[in-house]
Amino acid sequence: MVELKRDELHASVCDPVSASMNFLNEVASRYPDAIPLAAGRPYDGFYEAEDVHRYLDAYLSYLRSQGLGPDEVRRQLLQYGRTNGQIHPLIARWLERDEGIRVPPAAIAVTAGCQEAMVIALRGLCAGPRDVLLAGEPCYVGITGAARILDIEVVPVPETAHGVDPAAVAVVARQVRASGRRPRALYVVPDFANPSGACLDVPARMALLDVAEQEDLLILEDDPYGLFGVDDRPRPRLKSLDTRQRVIYLGSFAKSVFPGARVGFLVADQTVVDQAGRRTLLADELSNVKSMLTVNTAPIAQAVVGGVLVEADCSLRAANREKIAFYRRNLALLLDALERAFPPSTRDSAGIRWNAPAGGFFVVMDVPFLADEALLERSAREFGVLWTPMSFFYAGGGGERALRLSHSCLEPEQVEEGVRRLARLVAALA
Ligand SMILES: Cc1ncc(COP(=O)(O)O)c(C=O)c1O
């Protein structure tokens, strides 16, 4: 019998964040009737297994319309494929049409979810132990986890209520440089971040691009929630404002199509120069990482997402009208329910507060007690409601008295009932 010592395995195996997420899932499975205000997954009701066949057919018809014969179509779907994928021209059309992002299709790499895009970008950019990633904190666990797998240090930049502060990014970048390390990139979710719900205003976006230029940083812009604003106000993507090629855009189809496709992408239109002065596209260089990670993104999964794009004439905004309306209503319901459950007359004195994000899946609530795993378990057992401790999203302490609440996978009635149950928990701790 071989017995391996756990503390001799890589740090990512014992990642405390994975342990916390596993704990949350385990509590959810032990209390299946608890309302999951913790879960950030999209609403199930939008997906039908039969639709997958229709999307596949739409994509195959598209390939034929591009002049591919039966053998080529079969190969395209069932063979190993181009490392950076095959639906990049459709993604390029969608990005231009919906988001005003104009990039050559060759600058797009289709990945196994946004998660793989993060790993590829980090691996390609960070050459050694001196290269560190800056990230707004509280921070999405997917990027800190990816960095941990790769032994890349993450230096937090504390977020304000309005998201990451460009001036604070500059300060942290300089501190990192003064310590002999290189701040290689900043990770940011400008629209309705996970977990904070924060959204950068346009001046802050412009300032962040200026800071990236001044401090010689790249920006990893992660955008899974940008479609789901509470109104149609334009919120330009950093990448659409990026005239100096500072931004690597990370995309996910998990919410705009469905998570089961496991398809995402990155846009890396920067130029790479070698010692002989030869110039290549960063996306092409990063394909060397991708080829050793997953060879290429499953062509069948790409074909399904490709079919969605073809059917929607490359407008995911149009294709997602129903989802956008659903998530807007659920967010409004969540905020209304909080307002009713915690009236202003009592909440201020009790130290209860929450933010009102302009979109997305998450609201953060400050509470006057320790919101830790023990309380989460009690909340599920005695009160039938689950939430996520905000402390999960801080690497070095923070968020101990705050909860992340999500509405995305719930029926509207469950949102209201979930908040009523949460109010009972809070009352019991008063
Ligand atoms: C900030 C953020 N980035 C990316 C993702 C999803 O990535 P993927 O496409 O790998 O599902 C999520 C999903 O929860 C997220 O919250």
What pLDDT digit, counting tens, does each position of 281-301 carry? 999 999 999 999 999 999 999
In this structure, how many other beta carbons lie within 10 angstroms of the beta carbon of residue 334?
27
Backbone angles phi, psi at 60, to 5 degrees: -65, -40
Is the predicted pLDDT of residue 16 greater than 90, yes or no? no
* CB of 140 shorter than 6 A to ligand 1: yes
E-state strands within 147-256? 154-160, 163-164, 182-188, 218-222, 247-252
- The CA-atom distances, in angstroms, between 45 and each of 228, 260, 355, 383, 409 are 17, 14, 27, 26, 9
* CB of 197 shorter than 6 A to ligand 1: no
**What is the Cα–Cα distance from 384 to 35, expressed in whole angstroms?**
6
Q: Peptide bond preceding 166: is omega within 30 degrees of 0, i.e. cis?
A: no
* CB of 189 shorter than 6 A to ligand 1: yes
**What is the Cα–Cα distance from 85 to 261, expressed in whole angstroms?**
14
- The CA-atom distances, in angstroms, between 277 and each of 223, 229, 269, 271, 273 are 34, 44, 18, 11, 6
What's the whole-number average pLDDT of the chain? 97
Mutation test residue for ligand 1: of 25, 114, 221, the one with most atoms within 8 Å of CB: 114
Is the predicted pLDDT of residue 81 greater than 90, yes or no? yes
pLDDT digits over 222-264, tens only? 999 999 999 999 899 999 999 999 999 999 999 999 999 999 9
Backbone angles phi, psi at 14, to 5 degrees: -105, 25
CB 239 within 8 A of CB 249: yes
For the chain, percent of residues with pLDDT exceeding 90? 96
pLDDT digits over 49-70, tens only? 999 999 999 999 999 999 999 9
Mean pLDDT, rounded, for 414-421: 98
pLDDT of residue 234: 87
Which pLDDT band, with edges at 50, 70 and 90, does 386 fall under? very high
Strand pairing partners for 281? 271
CB 147 within 8 A of CB 122: yes
Is the predicted pLDDT of residue 182 greater than 90, yes or no? yes
Distance from residue 140's CA to the centre of ligand 1 (Å)? 8
pLDDT digits over 335-380, tens only? 999 999 999 988 988 899 999 999 999 999 999 999 999 999 999 9
* CB of 251 shorter than 6 A to ligand 1: no
